[in-house]
Amino acid sequence: MEQILWTIFFSPLLSFLILILIFKPFFAKMDRLSSLVSIFAISLSTLLSILVLLDLSINQRVISFNPNEFLVIGSLNFGISFILDELTAVMLVVVTSVSLLVQIFSVGYMSQDKGYIRYFAILSLFTTAMLGLVLASNIIQLFVFWELVGLSSYLLIGFWHHKPAAVSAAKKAFIITRIGDFGLLLAILYLFVQKSIFIENSLNPIMIQDIIFAVNQGYLSDFFVTLFALGLFAGAIGKSAQFPLHTWLPDAMEGPTPVSALIHAATMVAAGVFLVGRFFPVFENSVIAMNTLAITGGVTAMLAALIALSMNDIKKVLAYSTISQLGYMMLALGMGALSASIFHLFTHAFFKALLFLGAGSISHSTGTFDMNKMGGLRKIMPWTYVTFIIGSLSLLGIFPFSGFWSKDEILSGAWSNSGIVSNIAFYLAFITVFITSFYMFRAIYMTFHGEFKGGISKKDLHESPSVMLIPLVILSIASIFIGFIINPIISIGFIPSHWFSDFIGHGGVKSHVNIFSNWFVYGATLISLLAILLAYQIYILKNLLLIKFIDKFTIFRKILINKYYFDYFYEEIIVKKVFLNSLAKGLNWFDTNIVDRVFGAIGWIGLNMGVLLRQIQNGQLQTYGSIVSLGIILIMIFFMFL
Amino acid sequence: MAFNGLISATVFIPTLGALVIAVLLKKNSHVFLFARFVALLNLILSALVLFSYQISESTDKFKLVDKYEHWIPFDSFKVQYYLGVDGFSAPLILLTGLLTAVAIFSSKNITHKIKQYFICLLLLETAVMGVFSSLDLFLFFIFWELELIPMFFLIMVWGSGRKNYSAMKFLIFTLISGALILFGILMLFASTKTFDITLLPSLIKEESLLIPMSIMFFVFFIAFSIKLPVWPLHTWLPDAHTDAPTAGSVMLAGVLIKMAGYGLIRICIGLFPESVSEYSFIIVILAVINVIYGAVITMRQTDMKRLIAFSSVSHMGFVLLGVAAFSGSYDDKVTGLVGASLQMFTHGTITGLLFLLIGYIYEKTHTRYIPHMGGLVHQMPRLSVALTIAGVAALGLPGTSGFISEIIIFIGAFPVFSWFTAIAVFGVVLTSAYILWMIQRIMYGPKLDRFEKTLDASVYEMIPVILLIISILFVGLYPSFITGIFKNGIIQIIG
């Protein structure tokens, strides 16, 4: 088993190295071959990952391997080793399969690009880092890959480095996630404060399993557990773009669209959810941490969905939708519904990747992401249209699409808890269903229905090539069926009922929800349909009454278009006004005009003392004589008084 | 009297090379070739020093010892010729060999006073190697002062901008630091009658010292603080860096300021451990000021070289932070000091690389003023990749050596000074901000017409770059090799 895991991990790494060290410098012309190498490598990983998942589901066990020597500090060994549990196995499949489909799609999408090899190389690097992240058995190793994932994201957002917006977005993404990582790093360092407790119990403070064991056994104080969990959560907030560190994700849409699908929708942004899932027992031991999760998730889900209402860029709509859905996952975690959260992560990865690739397919034809320059595309791009609808219905959580199953598990998870936090979380999640349905169908109507309003000639519009459509179709199939298949309410064939819930949440309490027994399942579908109808009235039928009604809320719209002024506050106030132009400018002035001047002044005094003393050395015997006598007198006085 | 010879050769072959250049060589092309030959030879020798240290089975504290006891044989002033390495100094010797080779190989566009230029660089190498390997304090002081002269001329003669001012400033600050060291070692000699570093730790006791130990500690601490540099004694560094030639900056950032970190650990911790523990709260406060103050000021810099110079101030704060962990438990001490010594090594390679790249960019674009730059990735793909790698290493990205040294320091210092370390950790966020912003402003964006004819680095110019990148990645991906060596040395120093 260990060899298989190493192969899964090394296969994309090898592809990265081959592309960057052999193809890029020596065979820059053979770019198609380079993508084949990359796709072959990721196919191998995908296949093995599925095998690992199957194997693990039959022989349920958690495997951790002996660490290899990497770094020994003091009494601790920071070895590299892998852990294989249910969460890892699921994540392996998500990461490799979406990577594979996105790479296939990219062959078509990026075919004209000059940086073709570089693009595939960084994609391979990203997959490697993401696999390392989900396989990591100790928290330092996890942090290493966590940061490397961030690096690949930086390189891919700024892939078109001639575009200043892309480079700025890349920098912004890296720095904002690093602010979250600051919390994560402090949490890691905090473990070392408790080092002696771990060592007394012959545990290693960096091994994830040992940390969880120590928390479950109550070796660590509640205060410690809460602070540690909040530190981890800070990292998750940055990576999973939760409020208030969400601002980087919409800007990250400057990167190539397949990258947005893979990194900024399906996998990397889910890493925050994964992190919390990985340390879930730690969170469960702290009420404060759980409530923070739930409220942050709920607020993010709602506020991001509201912004999505006002966006005219289709990728931005999808970006805010992603933030909102990640909020759902965080909310579920805060409700203790680990399996529901990971289930939603799983289904979301497929339908959101599908939607992004659909948006990529649209722009491949229209050359834009601005929905005001689209319209009527459903006749020209039928495949894209149908698959996009499937992805949207899944996102909305319409029966029987895969999103239905996972979203309603989250609602059930929130409903079954009592307490004010759970109530707030539930209603936030419930209302967000309505908003989600509205903005998605607003986007669909603006893009695919009505008349084409674009700048280019209608003759230039075309359906995308089959290399791009095949991934769309595969993802559509997944978006329809996968939710029901992996977590059916009754056993079908060899798949037992509630397989996924049992698999992830083994030993947990929240499994086996019969979602059809709850009112809100029907309620959610109802308000979803209502929202679709409303969008239809406004954007297709142009119902004047409704449009006039909406126009009354211009202030509200202005706030939404400005994204609650978060970006303005961060960039203009904090970074420019407070930091660069006050603090940094002031310190710089202090450094050049005070600190440096002080030493200049000391030098000046030294110089002038020299000038003064030089007056005495005038070569006249009288002067010397009088000074000598003065000296003798002084010495005599000194001794007389001694 | 013991004589191995390897370490003496490593220290003095550059001087020999300088003599040959001065006396025998006439043609400039021969000077270039010969200087490269000597640099390469010494790189191999310094690698050999590390290698021989590794395989040596001797159980002595110091290995490869060259010792001649009667160098200055007066009983009242006994100075030995005593060189040797331990786990702490051996990697720094390799660092010196590496960066001198980089400096010499990258200096191919020197046009005037070529002979003198390479003589200066080679003498500089001897001085630094000598500092790292001297086991006699007086010898240490001689090498410490010897470093001053070639560096002064490098800035003064081959520099740019306000070079006279900067060279003088460098000279005066370093002289004061040297005077303090001289005072300190003479006081030590007066108290213990020896300059021998290996004997001193057991001889120094509070009652045997002429002046209190804490004062002795501060004399040395201030001396090294000037050189490291520690706020507020840092003001010479940005000026010296900005006006020095590329090779001078590489040497200055790469190895010269490491002499101060070396002194801090070898002398302050080696001889006055109690004082270091006692005053560690002062050290940690200075460390945090260095890290944050340096990083914040870096944000405002518009001159590429000045920017990296201030980032050095920030990064050397981490060395100080590792030293401050000395007041913690034994484990924290070892961790903090291993981190500090590794930080010296990694900062040498990373910042050396940054100065080298910026020197290349300056040579090709004739500007260092960042707002005038942009879009250079179109003309300089190679330098742009290299600058990105050096940049992410500087901001401590995992996979590069910068991450390893920073995380080790944090792990050592956090249990001892949690709050201060937490503030210093935030420096990492600031670092990523200024580094990425710098790369963005220099390299990215649309193509600019005024750099139409600008060339990328040639394959020859990339050789030293690749050498440094390899060393950065090697330490980043397989750190246990070098941390193991440092740890041996640190454990012996702590005793």
Q: Rounded distance, CA B140 to CA B133, Å?
A: 8
Q: How far is B3 from chain A (nearest CA, A)?
A: 34
pLDDT average, residue stretch A110-118: 84
Tell me the pLDDT tens digit for each residue of A215-261: 888 888 888 899 999 999 999 999 998 988 888 888 888 888 888 88
Interface test with A, best of B382, B420, B436, B469 (most A CBs within 10 A): B436
Report the complex ipTM: 0.90
Give per-residue pLDDT as tens, B78-96. 888 899 899 899 999 999 9
Confidence label for A586 from pLDDT (cuts 50, 70 and 90)? confident
CB within 8 A of B73, min separation 6: which ones? none
Instruction: Tell me the residue type at A500.
Output: F
Between CA A383 and CA A386 the distance in angstroms is 5
CB atoms near residue A463 (< 10 Å): 17
Enter the tokens of residue B251: 């040497």
What's the helix, strand, coil split of chain A in %, to 5?
75, 5, 20
Question: How many C-beta neighbours within 10 Å does residue B74 have?
Answer: 8
pLDDT score of B151: 92
Confidence of residue A512 (pLDDT cuts 50, 70, 90): low
**Pick from B229, B214, B232: which is nearest to B276 by CA?**
B214
Which is higher by pLDDT, A77 or A450? Answer: A450
pLDDT at A372: 81
Taking contacts as CB-CB distances below 8 angstroms, the residues of chain A near B293 are 587, 591
Sort out which chain B residues have CB atoms less than 8 A from A70's CB and list them.
Answer: 478-480
Q: Would you state the pLDDT for residue A75?
A: 64
Sign of CA dihedral A371, A377, A383, A386: positive
Q: Name residues whose C-beta falls within 8 Å of residue A162's C-beta, 6 or more positions apart in sequence.
A: B375, B377, B378, B444, B445, B446, B447
A593 has a chain B CB within 8 A of its CB: no
The full length of chain A comes to 642
A363 to chain B nearest CA, in Å?
A: 23
Give the 3-state secondary structure of residue B429.
Answer: helix
Q: What Cα–Cα distance (Å) separates residue A531 from each residue in A372, A401, A554?
A: 21, 18, 20
Interchain proximity B445–A158, CB inside 8 Å: no
Gap between the terminal Cα atoms of chain A: 89
Task: Answer whether A144 sits within 8 Å of B479, measured CB to CB.
Answer: no
Higher pLDDT, A509 or B227: B227
Contact B300 A186 (CB under 8 A): no
Query: Tell me, what amino acid is at A545?
Result: L
- Higher pLDDT: A616 or B249? It is B249
- Shortest CA gap A130–chain B (Å): 14
**Contact list, B232 vs chain A (CB under 8 Å):** 595, 598
Chain B interface includes A579 (CB < 8 A): yes
Indicate the residue of B410, B421, B436 with minimum beta-carbon distance to A175.
B436
Let me know: does A50 contact A166? Beta carbons within 8 Å.
Answer: no
Interface with chain A: mutation pick from B173, B235, B387, highest number of A CBs within 10 Å: B235
A192 touches B: beta carbon within 8 Å = yes
As a whole number, mean pLDDT of residues A607-636 equals 81
The Cα A621–Cα B69 span in angstroms is 49
- Between B131 and A200, the higher pLDDT residue: B131
Find all residues with CB under 8 Å of A510, minimum gap 6, and list them.
Answer: A336, A337, A338, A339, A340, A413, A416, A501
- The model's pLDDT over B11-34, given as tens digits with 9 standing for 90+, comes to 999 999 999 998 888 888 888 899
Search chain B and give the residue with CA nearest A194.
Answer: B415
pLDDT tens-place string over residues A126-145: 999 999 999 888 888 899 99
Contact B280, B260 (CB under 8 A): no
CA distance A2 to A348: 29
Q: A501 versus A115: which is more confidently predicted?
A: A115
Residues 6+ apart with CB under 8 A from B43: B97, B98, B100, B101
Q: Strand, helix or coil at B446?
A: coil
A168 touches chain B (CB under 8 A): yes
SS (H, E, C) A81-147: CEEECHHHHHHHHHHHHHHHHHHHHHHHHCCCCCCHHHHHHHHHHHHHHHHHHHHECEHHHHHHHHH
Task: Count how many pairs of residues, chain A against chain B, have C-beta atoms within 8 Å.
Answer: 124
Instruction: Give the per-residue pLDDT at B459.
Output: 85
Query: Given the structure tokens 């945090």, which residue do they identify?
Result: B288
Per-state percent for chain B, helix, strand, coil, to nearest 5 = 75, 5, 20
At A146 the pLDDT is 92
Q: What letter represents residue B433's amino acid? A: A
Q: Among A65-79, A314-328, B147-161, name the one with the lowest average pLDDT.
A: A65-79
Query: What pLDDT was estimated at residue A642?
Result: 62
Task: Mutation target for B interface from A26, A70, A157, A185: give the one with most B CBs within 10 A.
Answer: A185
* DSSP helix/strand/coil, B71: strand
Per the CB < 8 A criterion, the answer to whether A409 and A337 are in contact is yes
Identify the three-state secondary structure at position A64: strand
Residue to test with chain A: of B290, B404, B407, B408, most A Cβ within 10 A: B407
Task: Give how far A296 is from chain B: nearest CA, Å.
Answer: 23
For every residue of B377-409, DSSP letters joined together read: GGT-HHHHHHHHHHHHHHTT-TTSHHHHHHHHH
Residue of B nearest to A174 (CA): B432
Spatial distance between the Cα atoms of B245 and B368, rounded to a whole number of angstroms: 13
- Going along B25-137, which residue ranges are E strands? 63-74, 77-85
Q: How far apart are CA A32 and CA A111, in angstroms?
A: 9
pLDDT of residue B266: 92
Q: What is the pLDDT of residues B383-405, one digit of tens each?
A: 999 999 999 999 989 889 999 99
Most confident of the ranges A27-36, A618-627, B237-246: B237-246
User: What integer is the mean pLDDT of A390-406?
Assistant: 86
| pLDDT for position A60 | 62
CB A357 within 8 A of CB A475: yes
Nearest to A37 by CA among A72, A6, A2, A12: A12
% of chain B exceeding 90 in pLDDT: 48
A28 interfacial to chain B (CB closer than 8 Å): no
* Range from A343-357, A370-384, A453-467, B22-36 carrying the lowest mean pLDDT: A453-467
Q: Does B466 or A416 have the greater pLDDT score?
A: B466
pLDDT tens, position by position, A142-166: 999 999 999 999 999 988 888 888 8
Neighboring chain A residues of B299 at a CB cutoff of 8 Å:
579-580, 584
Per-residue model confidence as pLDDT tens digits over B239-276: 999 999 999 999 999 899 999 999 999 999 989 988 89
pLDDT of residue A67: 65
| Phi, psi (degrees; rounded to nearest 5) at A495 | -90, 120
Query: What residues contact A608, with CB distance under 8 A and at least 6 apart?
Result: none
| Reported confidence tier of residue A73, pLDDT bands at 50, 70, 90 | low
Task: Give which of B335, B414, B437, B473 to mutate to test A binding, by max A Cβ within 10 Å.
Answer: B414
**Band (A185; pLDDT cuts 50, 70, 90):** very high
CB B348 within 8 A of CB B262: no
pLDDT digits (tens, 9 = 90+) for B320-352: 999 999 988 888 889 999 999 999 999 999 999
**Average pLDDT of the residues of chain B:** 89
Collect all residues of chain A within an 8 Å Cβ-Cβ radius of residue B235: 591, 595-596, 599
A258-A261-A263 Cα angle (round to 5): 100
Report yes or no: A322 and A351 within 8 Å, Cβ to Cβ. Answer: no
Contact A258, A363 (CB under 8 A): no
CA B145 remoteness from chain centre? 16
Q: What per-residue confidence (pLDDT) applies to B1?
A: 66
The alpha carbon of residue A133 is apart from the nearest alpha carbon of chain B, in Å, by: 12
Amino acid at residue number A482:
I
The answer to whether the Cβ–Cβ distance between B331 and A75 falls below 8 Å is: yes
pLDDT at A506 (0 to 100): 59
Mutant choice from A156, A591, A594, A604 vs B, greatest count of B C-beta within 10 A: A591
Calculate the CA B375 to chain-centre distance.
32
Going by pLDDT thresholds of 50, 70 and 90, the confidence category of residue A284 is confident
In chain A, where the domains are located: 347-542, 594-641
pLDDT band at residue B292, thresholds of 50, 70 and 90?
very high
**Two structure tokens written together for A136:** 């990591």
| Neighboring chain A residues of B440 at a CB cutoff of 8 Å | 167-168, 171
In the numeric block, the tokens 């001897």 are attached to B126
pLDDT higher than threshold 80 for residue A490: no
Q: Which of A407, A293, A264, A399 is nearest to A344 (CA)?
A: A407
Q: Taking CB atoms and an 8 Å cutoff, what residues of chain B touch A234?
A: none
Quick one: pLDDT at residue B124? Answer: 93
Q: Do B479 and A588 touch (CB under 8 A)?
A: no
Categorise residue A543: left if φ over 0, alpha if ψ from -120 to 50, beta otherwise.
Answer: beta
Q: Is the pLDDT of residue A504 over 80?
A: no
**Cβ separation of A71 and B338 shorter than 8 Å?**
no
Six token digits for residue B152:
């002064």
Instruction: Give CA–CA dist A448/A436, Å, rounded.
Output: 18
Of the listed ranges A113-122, A485-494, A591-600, B233-242, the one predicted with least confidence: A485-494
Q: Which helix (H) or strand (E) holds B279?
A: none
Q: Which two tokens stand for residue B412?
A: 């050592």
Q: Which residues from chain A sit within 8 angstroms of residue B426, using beta carbons?
A: 182
Buried b (16+ CB within 10 A) or exposed e, A344-373: bbbbbbbbbbbbbbbbbbbbbbbebbbbeb
Average pLDDT of span B425-439: 90
pLDDT mean across residues, chain A:
84
Which residues from chain A sit within 8 angstroms of residue B444, using beta carbons? 158, 161-162, 164, 167
Chain B contact for A2 (CB, 8 A cutoff): no
Q: Region A109-115: what's the mean pLDDT? A: 83
Instruction: Dig out the tokens for A45 from the structure.
Output: 């990983």
Residues A272, B476, B59, CA angle at the centre, nearest 5°? Answer: 130
Q: Which residues contact B24 (CB under 8 A, 6 or more apart)?
A: none
